[in-house]
Structures are given as C-alpha cells and as structure tokens.
Structure 1
Amino acid sequence: MPRPTFDGLGVSTSPRETAQMEPSQTTAQSAAPIAAPIAAKHPFKHVAHGTERSDDYRWLQDRNDPAVIEYLLEENRYADALLAETIAERDAIFGEIESRVLPVADSAPVRKGPWEYFERSFSDQPYVKHLRRPWGPGIRSAVEEVVLDENALAVGHDFFEVGSYEISPDHRLLAYALDTNGGEVYELRIRNLETSEDLADEIPNLYYGVAWSKDSRSIFYTRPDEAVRPYQVWRHQIGTPSTEDKLIFEEPDESFFVSVYESRSGDYILIGTGSRITSDVRYIPSDTPEAAPRLVAQRRHGIEYEVDHLRAANSASVERTDGEPANDQWAILTNDNALDFRVATAAIGDSEPERWRDLAPHRMGTRIAEMDVFEKHVVVSERRDGLEHLRVIRVADGNEQAIQMPDPVYTVATGANPEYSSETLRYSYASPTQPPQDLDYNFESGSTSIVKETEIPGFNKDQYICERSWASADDGTQIPISIVYKMTTPLDGTAPCLLYGYGSYEICIEPSFSSARLSLLDRGFVYAIAHIRGGGEMGRSWYEQGRLLQKRNTFTDFISCAEYLCSENYTSAMRLGARGRSAGGLLMGAVSNLAPHAFRAISAEVPFVDCVSTMSDPALPLTVGEWEEWGNPIESRADYEYMLSYSPYDNVENHPYPAMFVAAGLNDPRVMYWEPAKWVAKHRALRSDTNLLILRTEMGSGHGGPSGRQDAWREEAAVLAFFVHALS
C-alpha cells in the first residue's frame, strides 16, 4: 500500500487518511459524568540555539507544589469516572487472568551447591516465597526451608520489591535488597539462613547488583549518585557497621553506569562500566577481596566488551610472572572488529586486544547478544532473522551444536545456571501459543528434557495460530511482525487488533506467551508485535538505523506495520489499537502526531514524551547517559532540531486524536511523572475531538507500576478493558 506523504509535522491528507477523518466521532468517545481537569497555563520559554520553545505546563514538574499533586489526583478521579463503564469488562478480565493461575505453583528448581533453590507463588498472595531443599547424588529431600518470604516483608508497604538476591558461597547467608516506594534505590540486608533472622548489617542507598567474596565474609555493592546513576562500588565486611565500608571504585564519567557481579566460576569479582556504546571491565580475585581492581583491557570509544572466567579443564595451574595462573582465561564478548559481536579468549592479565583469539568468530547478520561460560562449554545466545538461537561451543576443540526450536515464531533464553561445572544448560522457551517451559540441554548427549511447563488452566494451544509476517518500510526495508489470533477469528478486516511496539536501546520485544493476552484473543482480537528499527531484533545495524538522527525510522516502521495489518485484512484502521511503554510510549506519542487516524485507540504507559526537555536537563536521572541514544540537544543544534521534530509533547496540534490511556508513576526515576502529565494537559487544551483521554498516576510506585501481582493484574485488566471498549 502506498505511503501517505507528510508535510513537515502535519497530518497526512492522502485520500485514505482524509476518509478516516470523517468524522472524528467514529472513534471511541467519552461520556464524561464530570468535567475534564484543565491544567493552568504558566507561560514559560526555553531558549536554545537561538530559538524559543514554549512550555506552558512546566510548573507540573514541581512535585512539592500541592497544586501539582491535586492536579494528578483530579486526573485520577476523572479517569475513574470515565472508566466506570468498563468496570464490568475489567472485572471479568481480571477474573480470567486469575483463573489461569494455579492456586499454588513452584518454579523449576535450580541446583546451587548442596541445595536446590526455587520459588513458590500463591494465587491469593501478591509476592513469592523463596525456598530451598537439600540436593545430592541420589537424594531428593522433601524437607524444605524458607529462605525469604516476600509477603511477610511486604506487610505495611503499598509498594514492595526485592532487587538483588544473592546466596553466599557457603549457603549460610542471603544478601537481599528492598525497595518500598518504586524509586529503584534499595536497602541491603543480610539474613542468617540457619536462624532465619536478619543480621544487624543494613546498608542504605544501593542500586542493583551485589557480589560475594569466596569466603562469604565480604560483599560488594553499587551505589547511585543524585541522578540515580550507579557510579561507585563498595565493599562491606559482614558484621561491621556500613559506615566502615570501603570505596573500591568510582566512575567519574556521567555517561557510564557501574555494575558488580561474580564470575560463574566464583573465582573473580567483576566490575563493569558501560555507556550505550562503550564499556570496560575490572576484576578482583574473589579469594583476596581486599585487592585493588585490575583492568581487563583499556576503554576505547565505541568498543564494547564483557568477560567471564574460563578455567581451562584438566590442566595444571602454573603461576606466570605476573602472578596469574597460566591456564586461566577470559571469555570475551566484544564488538571489536565485529559489528554483530564475536566471542574471543585471552589469558588473564593479557590486556592487548590484538592477541584475543576467536572462539565464536563474527558472522555478519548474526548478532551475538549474550554468552554463558561453563567449565567445558560456552553457550552463545545469538539473533538471526529476527529470532533468538542458542549455540553450544565445546571449548576443548571448538565443536558447535545448535539447540533446535520446534516453532516458527518463539522466544528462547538461557536461564539460571549457577553451577560452573554443570553438565546441563537450563534454558527457557515459549511462543505466543506455547506457555513457558524450563528445559535442560545435556552438553554431552545433545538431548533436551522438559523440567517444567507452566500450566495454564483451561488453555488449549491448538485453538490459536501464530505467524511471522513482514511489512515494507518507506525505504523498502522489511519489518518483521509477530501475529497471534484465535482460529475462529475472521481475517476479513473486521477483527479488532492491538499492535505493540518499542524500538529503542537495541531491546528486542520477544514473541512470548501471555496468559493475560488470552482475554483479548478469546474476544476475537488479533495481537501483533512490530519488531521495528531501534530494537535489536535484526542485529546491531537494525539498532543503529533507529537511533540518533535516524530515530524517525522507528516511528514510520510502526506505521508501516499498522498499514500492513489493515491491507492484509487482519484488521482495519477503525479497529486498530497501539500500545507501548517507556520509550515505547515515545513511539505512541510520535505516531499519534504523525498518523493520528491510523489508530482508533492508544495506550502509552510511563511514556517518554517530553524528550527535548528531559535531554536538555543533565541534572535529571539518566539524561547524560541517554545522549548516546537520542542525541545531545544542549551541544548540538542538529540533535536539538531533529529531536524537536518528533517530540510528542512539542508537536501536539489542534486536530482529532485517537482515544488515549496514559499511565504514570509518581516515583518513577526513569520517566518523570510530569512527562505524561504535561503531555495530557497539552492534549486537553489543543485536541479537537471528544475521544477518551485518560491519565492515571500511580501515587506510590515507579516505572514498573504496581508491585504486587494482583495489583499488576488489575492494572493490566484495566488497560485491556479500555481496548475492548475503545475498539468494539
């Protein structure tokens, strides 16, 4: 189907689009029992590169202003009133989601040392219980021990989340981190697993990631700065006050984030630093935690690498002159001379990249995304033709074996594999019609066995169809689309359809299974995922074509996918909805401006919609580190003008828009609550339709929304009910 032409940022006026504009009332309308909140305008001008930019709702950025909180609460009350007519549908969908969950369900057990660790969930409780039981050759004890009961810890908290969760090497202690407001800054606690009591050690102000020393007496953790950027690594000695903790490493460059983790072998503490396009790694022997960190290889702009320890099997450890064992190596995943990455090996202590030896050479078009290093094998997770593949490489001779997948559209990923000397690989598999499975692949025999398959009561996979299709972009690029629907759904253009998209940070939106999605499919919906540029589905170049000064490809790709679904009679524009979160919310805002009549309804959750303002304020969380993704509008006039050309907030106009469900989190450290709030306020002032426009702000949570699973189900049910109502 020919692409409509656009005049600058104006709306297409092709015949097809013009027909869809007659009249706006054909989209979902609101029958509001109360008046919509109208935010006051406080004129404000940003000045950049010799130009002015209006921002009349900038005052909403002050969360300490009581008027701001009252405005958000008023929007919540208005949302409740508008959504009242969807309550029956919401409650029905919530009941369906709940009915697809077993009353009690255990995760697949994971062996670590002399124990099997697993989680148990309860349909009537919001959080999981962590347990373990003894493991050994010929022993499968039924005696269980409670490691951590999240439900007990969550009592009295509206929001609760466990971040880091690490068992000590001697299995006597648990390090776990708690967040009780959604701000993603944690408090670390240490639990004695023999007494089930917490030690006096409490460490505030942590970010993600902890690592134990080999003797279980020290723990390493990261700490964020005021912009919530993890920039320091500290070491804590168990049993001492946190005020005596030692600073081990600090990263001064504000575009780099710091992480800390253990090698799978347990022999090294690894400290990673990375920006969007550059990274490096330092290491500390785990048996000498007081040692200073050493650099694996010098940082070079545009070069990324990560490492894990590869202990050569069946060879004696010989000390070299630099003090490192001669047989110890790094396995290195890098893009050095490899656009789609390669896996190499190098002796520990040898920092010269020209001496790195390929284990999995670069293959153009096959993006190696991850590696899992074991005693005798390295498993690479690689993406080709829009799908993930697992390849097993035997270190001794380089022999390769691909793990076969049964479906044409699926998602696969390596799972929890804490044992370095394991003879099996645990991995997970699912598809839009296949509930998640945990499987074990035997390295020697090449056989695969199912450890556990998620049971979905009442679900019959044979009633659903999953397909992979390709849409043509403006420049002829083929965009993959994953599509799923029920066999009884007519493909004559009358079915409602929900199209999901993201398209940023090289993140892949996998064609996975969703029990909640069944509530749409069973109501005759088609569900589709647009694997657009800016994501990583088709390799590194796919990502590069959807970032910085090529970002608009992301938006036009999504519109092309929408047009394809209509042209192939999966749906029609008047029955097509779109959904995206975070950077996917930016996508929703951009396509609603570029092609507002291509969609009848849109859900934009925690949407990054005021990108020029955010990227122009380096004091905000994440801004400096995001310049390599979006551009720096402070330093570059070209970046500023390009970003301004697609910024959803800056391009709202006086014309009809789709019905919109917009969600925010007051404590969100990634997308500030005020971005969606300002965007909705501007929409209320300018848009020329009477379609649903809803803003709901979670007043006690952050970027991920409600923390308890029942609350999360209710929120999901509300969004799905919105689409059922809007697209009916």
Structure 2
Amino acid sequence: MRSSLPACLTFVLSLPACLGASAELSSPHASAPAPPIAKRIAHELVAHGHTRVDHYYWLRERGDPEVIAYLEAENAYTEAATAHTAKLRAELQAELTGRIQQDDSTVPVRERDYFYYARWVEGSEHPLYCRKHGSLDADEEIILNADALAKGHDFFATRELEVSENQQLLAYATDDVGRRFYTIHVKDLRTGELLADEIPDVSGALEWANDDQTLLYTKQDPETLRDYQVFRHTLGDAPGDDTLIYEERDETFEVGLWKTKSRAYLVLDIYSTLSDEVRILDAAKPDAELRVFAPRERGLEYDIDHLGDQFYVRTNLDAENFRLMKTPVAKTDKQHWREVVGHRDDVLIESFELFDEHLVLEQRRRGLMELSVQRWDGSDAHVLDFGEPAYVAYGTGNLELDTSTLRYGYSSMTTPDSVFDYDMNTREKVLLKQQKVLGGFAPEDYVTERLDAPARDGAAVPISLVYRRGPQGRPEPGPALVYAYGSYGASMDADFSANVLSLLDRGFVFAIAHVRGGEELGRAWYEGGKLLNKKNTFTDFIDSAQFLVDEGYAERSQVFAEGGSAGGLLIGAVINMRPDLFAGAIAAVPFVDVVTTMLDDSIPLTTSEYDEWGNPNDKQYYDYMLSYSPYDNVTAQDYPPLLVTTGLHDSQVQYWEPAKWVAKLRATKTGDDLLLLRTDMSSGHGGKSGRLARLEEIAFEFAFLLDLAGRAD
C-alpha cells in the first residue's frame, strides 16, 4: 500500500505552508491539481575544468524532513492527477489478481534425499517453504513460513535458504527495509527452534561447509554497498568473533559465494564487468586456506563447476562468445585448461550444466536460447526443438549429478511458464507443470512474432512482439508498448506475462526491442552498446519504435515506451532525443543522473561499473556521458506524458536520481503534458515485496497507459 500522507499534503490551500521553501504551487490548468515545484539551490560540480550547476542536489539528503515532504507532495500530486483512473485501477488490479491461481506451488526439486518446493495459500503474499523426505508421497514438512515472518512489515524479503549437509539446519537471510541489508538466521529443523546465531547487516549470500557447523557469508561496504568481505562463522560463536577470510580491496570488484554442484567446493567469485577471479575452498575443510583458481587478468572472464577429478571452465579466453574448458582439480592455472567445446562465431555459450554422463549447454543463437545436450564422449549430440519464433528456455532445479533427466523451464509470449523433465537418452519430455492463467485465457487468441528492425547504421535489431489475434489475423494499427533494457549484457527474452494480457485485450501490441547493450546476438552485440558505443542502445530503440509504426504494428500517435533501472536511462535518453515519437513513457527506478553518480565513488555500485559506462574522471568518458545523460540533457521542449517511479530505500539507483530528474523537467520543459513521480516510501529497487501487493503497482502503470491511449473504458 502507498504510505499514508499527512493531512496537509493533500493539495488543499495549506500545501505551501507544509513544504516551506521546498515547493510552490503552479498549474497549467486552473481546474487541475498543481504539481509541487522543488526549490532551487545552486550547487556547482566541477570536473575537467567544466562546471555544471545542479539546482536539485539538495534532494540527496534522505534524512532531511524537507526532502521527505517533497517526495510525499509529489505522491499526493500523482494521486490527485490520476484520481479519474481510480475505478480503472481497481478493475485492473482485480483482473490481474483474478488470473493468479492463489493456491499454488513450485515443482518439487530433489536435493539428496529430500524434495524441496515452495507453495502459496489463498491471499498470501509470501510462500511457505516445504520439503518431503524420500518421496513425494511423504508427509509435508514446512521448513519456513515467510508469510508469517512478513507480518507487521511493509516490506519483507527472504534470500538464500540453504540447508546444512545433514539437512537438519536451515540458514536464511531476511530484509524488512528493502535496502538489501540482511540478517542471517539459523533454524534447527528437528525442533523448529531458532538458534542464537543471528548475524546482522550482511549482503545475504551464505553457504554451509560440510561439517554442519560452519557458515560462510558475505558483507557489503555500508556506504557503497559493494560486496567485498567473506566471513566464516562457527555455530555458537558471537558474530563479532567471526573470522574474515577474504577482503577485496579493489573497488572495481565484488565478491559472490556459492557451492559447486558436486558439493565438494565452496567458491568465491571475485568479479568486475570485464574480469573474474575464482578462489576455492574444500567444503570439508572450512578452516583451510583459500586457493586461487586462476589469477585475475584484465579482460579474462571465467566461471567454473566441478565433476569428478576435473573442473569445467566457461571462459572468453581467446573466445569472444566463450568456450568450455576443463582442467585437473590439482592444476587449475589457465595453462592447464583443455578445450571441451570450442568457440563459435554465431553461438554464445551462456552457461553449462554437468551430469555424470551428460553435458548440457545453455547457448544463444540468433538471439534465441538453445539447450544443447551431448554425452561426455561427444556422441548423441542434439539441440532441443521448441518450435516457436520467440521464446525462452533454461535449465532449472538440476541439483543432482547422477541422473539422465534434464529439468528445464520454457515459455513464450503466448505459452505460460512451463517446467519439463527431459530424458537425455530417449529424448522424451514430460510436462510437469504449466502456469495456470485463470480468467478465460486461451493461447490461440494471441500471436507472437519475431521481427528485425533496420538500425540507422545497418544493424538489424531483433524485436519480439505479441498481440491479440484479430478477425483477419493482425489487427489494425493501434497502441503499442515498446520495452527494452540494453545494458550489462543482460538479454531480455520473450517470456510469458499474464499481466500483459490486460493490455493486449484492450488493443495494445507489446514489443521487446532487443537493443545493443544486451547480449542477444552474442558478445559483440553487448560491446556495441556500452562505453563509447552506448548511444547505439538509444538509437536502436528509437529505430525499433519507428519500424513498428512503418510496418503497421503501431499507430503513429500511440507509441509508448517503458524501461527500468538502466532501462530507465534508456527512456530518459530517447525522450530527450525524440520526444515527438512517443505518446507516453514509464521510467521505473531510472538511472538518469549518469555523470554525477559515476563521479561519486561513495554511491553504491559506482566503482564496479566503470567498465560498463566508463570512468568520467577520464575526460573522454566524461564528455561522452555528458552528451547522453538524461538529467544533463533536459531542455526546454515538449516531452510526452511521463510516469517515473522509485523507492525511498533503493540501493541500486538512489531515489534522488528520479526525484531530481522530475524536478528539473518540471522547471524546464514546455507544454502541459502530465509528469508524475511516484515514490514507494517503504521499498527499494524491486518495489513491493508481496506477490499480490505488486499488482497494485502494475495496475497503476497500466491505467496510466490506457488512459493516455484512450482505452480506459
């Protein structure tokens, strides 16, 4: 639920008194609610002899009551300006909720002699975590009731549920703020009691050693939130006595923690955007010294897993699209690596799955995921055929080595999320579960397509789209929502969304533009949208939207854009560059103040992202960032209607970036199109934590779009 507002922040005549000097009233329409206008305090930012004046820098003070009052005033304005959509929002939320099978569960996953799964009950926001011993016919044991733990909290998240080697102890991490500072708890599953071991202010990553007494966990820097320390905790010891076993001092690197599928090794992943270093620890000897697998080198990326007497290594060593290597357990330096699967120009190896008798590669070809299966001798190699033009497929729940069954997930824009077991010997597959979509959904009522949009430099940008089938197949041009991300090499796959049906059934086309900066077309596609090529991400999006208009998938005056986080940067950039192309836009938790953030190494994530965006302490990168940074490029022009969302406790994109951006847009833009800032005062980067509570946010966004498109009835 949205935070309650003080009575004086309900846009009555007393509003200016409530906000003091921080806001004043102005309105383009006498009858419309007046948006708050943030005060201006000049703050000079100097770099490379160049001075920028930021009038809204003061909004960075999270603890300042005047800042909170401004955010609440924006929330009140947003609520007042959208009051006419209240009925539609309620209908949409009921519609979204009505598609969910509320009594639901995940497919049980075998881990040694238990089957683990999560299930939800009617009306619950969070799951019950459960298991059965030996057989699915055994009695259910609830090992954690997350819904009960969440009671009384506006926000609640659990992370890293890990059982000990004897499977009688459960370690898990909780966050009730949304800032991603977790507390580790340990539960005795034999008695149901919590142990005294409670470790606060950690990042949430944790793993058991094989002695059932030792936990490894990571901690983040309290200011930058960079995961940089790994501690060892022995049950019964005070957390203050825990042993620091590793600290990463290079501020461009972070540390991750996990255990190999064989359960024989604990793994520290030390990574930056362009380099990796793995350190390993015998899980049976947690007091031993960490061993460097292969020293870090600039540009060398690799990840590992273990089977028998070999480690397997996915690496970009002399392989832009990665290859798979192996090396003896005792000799892990890269000079001992031997090739298992070679590099291919047209195939990107994204991950791999080890089994006693089989190797499975998750690989991407022409933007689509493939599951490639082969025996270790190379025989019986084959790729699963999914038979749709756009889809996503991935391995899931494959925790055991001694099986010939591959479990995988599959969905497309018209096929709900499905889980299959696939016999790698007989090639037979069994559907274990498909997401139930209530409310009359029928896949044949919808059409998905895969298109290639010509970019201005000759590249072909893939587009995945879906729409409701019309009497003649494709409907007449109407409203279209175009979504993209385009950063960090993250590929946006064409998966299923029951929520999007609410737009499709009201005449929208939904399209995902697979712009450069993602990795859909291989590593070169990623490199073509980062650093000094970043503007390709934005022009790809613009060219994709224009293509949908030119090809008759979208009405010229009804193209809408959406992106979040780094995708919110994309939205900010494209509406600066082509505001006329879009009838409205949604920027969720947007990273829009690029230059200021990347110059401030005290802000979370900054130093670890120089290889993604560039280091603006170098004038070449400073000038390039400055040329596209949405905040720095706000100008006196008409902008399309814009909804901007953020969370007060966001640890990835600080709330002040979207708040400052909206404040500057209000003071600078021409025209009177709607500009809304909606701040969740009790959550972070991911928004609300409950599965049903999230639907209120989605209903609000959909109502915003439908209202603009004239499809509110």
Give the TM-score band, short-chain normalised: over 0.9
Please tell me the residue identity of whatever aligns with 2:646: A
**1:418 corresponds to:** 399
5 Å-filtered alignment, 1:289-328, equals 289-311=286-308, 328=309
Q: Is the aligned partner of 1:517 residue 2:500? A: yes
Shift of residue 378, structure 1, vs aligned partner: 2.3
5 Å-filtered alignment, 1:346-361, equals 346-361=327-342
Q: Deviations over 1:293-345 (max 9, x none)?
A: 1011111110001111121xxxxxxxxxxxxxxxx111000000100000100
CA distance in 1, matches of 2:627, 2:409: 41
**2:140 corresponds to:** 144
Asked if structure 2 preserves the Cα contact closer than 8 Å seen for 1:489 and 1:524, the reply is no
Q: Is the aligned partner of 1:709 residue 2:691? A: yes
CA distance in 1, matches of 2:52, 2:416: 49
CA distance in 2, matches of 1:347, 1:693: 59
Q: Is the aligned partner of 1:431 residue 2:409? A: no
Q: Secondary structure at the match of 1:683?
A: helix
5 Å-filtered alignment, 1:40-119, equals 40-119=39-118
Q: Is the aligned partner of 1:285 residue 2:282? A: yes
Please tell me the residue identity of whatever aligns with 2:628: Y
Q: Secondary structure at the match of 1:88?
A: helix
Q: Secondary structure at the match of 1:411?
A: strand
Please tell me the residue identity of whatever aligns with 1:697: T
Q: Deviations over 1:182-221 (max 9, x none)?
A: 1011100011111222111101121142111112221111
Q: Which of 495, 509, 516 matches 1:533?
A: 516
Q: Which of 162, 169, 190 matches 2:165?
A: 169
Q: Is the aligned partner of 1:463 residue 2:445? A: yes
**1:551 corresponds to:** 534
Q: Is the aligned partner of 1:265 residue 2:262? A: yes
CA distance in 1, matches of 2:379, 2:604: 44
Please tell me the residue identity of whatever aligns with 2:573: A
Asked if structure 2 preserves the Cα contact closer than 8 Å seen for 1:31 and 1:82, the reply is no
Asked if structure 2 preserves the Cα contact closer than 8 Å seen for 1:296 and 1:349, the reply is no
Classify 1:30/1:265 alpha carbon distance in 2 versus 1 (closer, same or farther; 3 Å). Answer: farther
Asked if structure 2 preserves the Cα contact closer than 8 Å seen for 1:440 and 1:451, the reply is yes
Q: Is the aligned partner of 1:195 residue 2:191? A: yes
Which stretch shows the higher mean deviation, 75-84 or 567-576?
Answer: 567-576
CA distance in 2, matches of 1:347, 1:546: 37
Shift of residue 597, structure 1, vs aligned partner: 0.6
Shift of residue 234, structure 1, vs aligned partner: 0.9
Asked if structure 1 preserves the Cα contact closer than 8 Å seen for 2:43 and 2:55, the reply is yes
Shift of residue 488, structure 1, vs aligned partner: 1.9
Q: Is the aligned partner of 1:234 residue 2:231? A: yes
CA distance in 1, matches of 2:229, 2:552: 54
Asked if structure 2 preserves the Cα contact closer than 8 Å seen for 1:268 and 1:283, the reply is yes
Please tell me the residue identity of whatever aligns with 2:71: L
Shift of residue 403, structure 1, vs aligned partner: 1.8
Classify 1:440/1:32 alpha carbon distance in 2 versus 1 (closer, same or farther; 3 Å). Answer: farther
**2:7 corresponds to:** none
Asked if structure 1 preserves the Cα contact closer than 8 Å seen for 2:358 and 2:404, the reply is no
Please tell me the residue identity of whatever aligns with 1:348: V
Q: Is the aligned partner of 1:244 residue 2:244? A: no
**2:657 corresponds to:** 675
CA distance in 1, matches of 2:269, 2:499: 36
CA distance in 1, matches of 2:111, 2:99: 31
**2:587 corresponds to:** 604
Give 5+ residue unaligned stretches, structure 2: 1-27
Q: Secondary structure at the match of 2:437?
A: coil
Classify 1:489/1:534 alpha carbon distance in 2 versus 1 (closer, same or farther; 3 Å). Answer: farther
Q: Secondary structure at the match of 2:244?
A: strand
Shift of residue 507, structure 1, vs aligned partner: 0.2
Higher relative contact order (CA 8 A, sep 6+): 1
Please tell me the residue identity of whatever aligns with 2:657: E
Classify 1:70/1:648 alpha carbon distance in 2 versus 1 (closer, same or farther; 3 Å). Answer: same
**2:177 corresponds to:** 181
Please tell me the residue identity of whatever aligns with 2:289: A
Q: Secondary structure at the match of 1:649?
A: coil
Shift of residue 505, structure 1, vs aligned partner: 0.2
Please tell me the residue identity of whatever aligns with 1:590: A
**2:352 corresponds to:** 371
Aligned length: 680
Asked if structure 2 preserves the Cα contact closer than 8 Å seen for 1:264 and 1:374, the reply is no
CA distance in 2, matches of 1:31, 1:514: 40
Q: Secondary structure at the match of 2:149?
A: helix
**2:14 corresponds to:** none
CA distance in 2, matches of 1:654, 1:61: 24
CA distance in 2, matches of 1:249, 1:131: 34
Please tell me the residue identity of whatever aligns with 1:540: R
**1:334 corresponds to:** 315
Please tell me the residue identity of whatever aligns with 2:274: I
Q: Secondary structure at the match of 2:207?
A: strand
CA distance in 2, matches of 1:126, 1:57: 37
Classify 1:67/1:718 alpha carbon distance in 2 versus 1 (closer, same or farther; 3 Å). Answer: same
CA distance in 1, matches of 2:556, 2:571: 15
Shift of residue 397, structure 1, vs aligned partner: 4.3
Give 5+ residue unaligned stretches, structure 1: 1-28, 312-327
Asked if structure 2 preserves the Cα contact closer than 8 Å seen for 1:489 and 1:495, the reply is no
Q: Deviations over 1:144-199 (max 9, x none)?
A: 11011111000111100001111222110111100111101110001111122211
Shift of residue 134, structure 1, vs aligned partner: 1.9
Please tell me the residue identity of whatever aligns with 2:163: I
Shift of residue 365, structure 1, vs aligned partner: 2.2
Which stretch shows the higher mean deviation, 537-546 or 484-493?
Answer: 484-493
Please tell me the residue identity of whatever aligns with 1:259: G
Which stretch shows the higher mean deviation, 389-398 or 667-676?
Answer: 389-398
Shift of residue 34, structure 1, vs aligned partner: 2.0
Which stretch shows the higher mean deviation, 485-494 or 374-383?
Answer: 485-494
Normalised TM-score (structure 1): 0.92
Asked if structure 1 preserves the Cα contact closer than 8 Å seen for 2:42 and 2:54, the reply is yes
Please tell me the residue identity of whatever aligns with 1:473: A
CA distance in 2, matches of 1:107, 1:489: 37
Q: Which of 208, 211, 214 matches 2:210?
A: 214
Please tell me the residue identity of whatever aligns with 2:189: L
Normalised TM-score (structure 2): 0.94
Asked if structure 2 preserves the Cα contact closer than 8 Å seen for 1:30 and 1:691, the reply is no
Classify 1:396/1:220 alpha carbon distance in 2 versus 1 (closer, same or farther; 3 Å). Answer: farther
Classify 1:39/1:377 alpha carbon distance in 2 versus 1 (closer, same or farther; 3 Å). Answer: same
Asked if structure 2 preserves the Cα contact closer than 8 Å seen for 1:489 and 1:525, the reply is no
Shift of residue 31, structure 1, vs aligned partner: 8.8
**1:23 corresponds to:** none
Shift of residue 493, structure 1, vs aligned partner: 5.6
Shift of residue 120, structure 1, vs aligned partner: 0.7
Q: Which of 457, 464, 483 matches 1:500?
A: 483
CA distance in 2, matches of 1:232, 1:371: 28
5 Å-filtered alignment, 1:557-706, equals 557-634=540-617, 636-706=618-688
CA distance in 1, matches of 2:556, 2:166: 59
**2:17 corresponds to:** none
CA distance in 1, matches of 2:214, 2:375: 34
CA distance in 2, matches of 1:329, 1:68: 56
Asked if structure 1 preserves the Cα contact closer than 8 Å seen for 2:115 and 2:136, the reply is no
Asked if structure 2 preserves the Cα contact closer than 8 Å seen for 1:30 and 1:82, the reply is no
Shift of residue 591, structure 1, vs aligned partner: 0.1
Shift of residue 123, structure 1, vs aligned partner: 4.1
